[in-house]
């Protein structure tokens, strides 16, 4: 089983959490790992490929979930998430293919994961109450 799926399974067995919170936790974990590598580049540089692979797998799972026709998300949200996933995949390839990767290039991945996790953790606005006639 892949790391992304293991992370989901591990979190699911801890305390009951919503799917949104589970996804937020996994994204925050990946973000923290990437940030640790960026911030300690000289020591953790050799962990980069594994961290990028995990992050890509997480985004593959997320993209697959929103692309599923059973996903209840609005079309615009699905399209936005898929566009972000495509960016993640392309940026990951760019960083991985570089013989001398620039740790600063991890910042985009870190920020995206962090911001999406914060969005997942925020409570959606309740629907507006119908106006009285």
The tens digit of pLDDT for each residue in 38-54 reads: 999 999 999 999 999 99
Residue 28: partners with Cβ closer than 8 Å, 6 or more residues away:
113, 114, 117
User: How far apart, in Å, are the Cα atoms of 95 and each of 19, 49, 99, 100?
Assistant: 30, 9, 9, 9
Q: Quick one: CA dihedral 81, 75, 61, 89, positive or negative?
A: negative
Residue 133's pLDDT is 45
Please choose, from the candidates 99, 112, 103, the residue with its C-alpha nearest in 3D space to the C-alpha of residue 28. Answer: 112
Q: Which domains, and CATH codes, for the chain?
A: 3-121 (1.20.120)
Residue range 12-36, pLDDT digits in tens? 566 677 888 999 999 999 999 999 9
Residue 126's pLDDT is 47
Residue 16's pLDDT is 72
Take residue 2 and report the two structure tokens written for it.
Answer: 């892949």
């Amino acid at each position: 089983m892949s790391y992304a799926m293991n992370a989901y399974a591990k979190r699911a067995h801890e305390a009951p959490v919503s799917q949104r919170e589970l996804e937020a936790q996994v994204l925050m974990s990946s973000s923290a790992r990437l940030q640790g590598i960026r911030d300690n580049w000289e020591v953790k540089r050799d962990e980069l490929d594994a961290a990028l692979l995990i992050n890509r797998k997480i985004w593959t799972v997320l993209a697959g979930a929103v692309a599923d026709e059973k996903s209840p998300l609005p079309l615009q949200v699905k399209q936005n998430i898929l566009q972000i996933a495509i960016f993640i995949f392309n940026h990951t390839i760019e960083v991985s293919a570089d013989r001398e990767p620039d740790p600063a290039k991890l910042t985009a991945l870190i920020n995206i994961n962090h911001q999406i996790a914060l969005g997942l953790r925020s409570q959606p606005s309740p629907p507006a109450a119908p106006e009285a006639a």
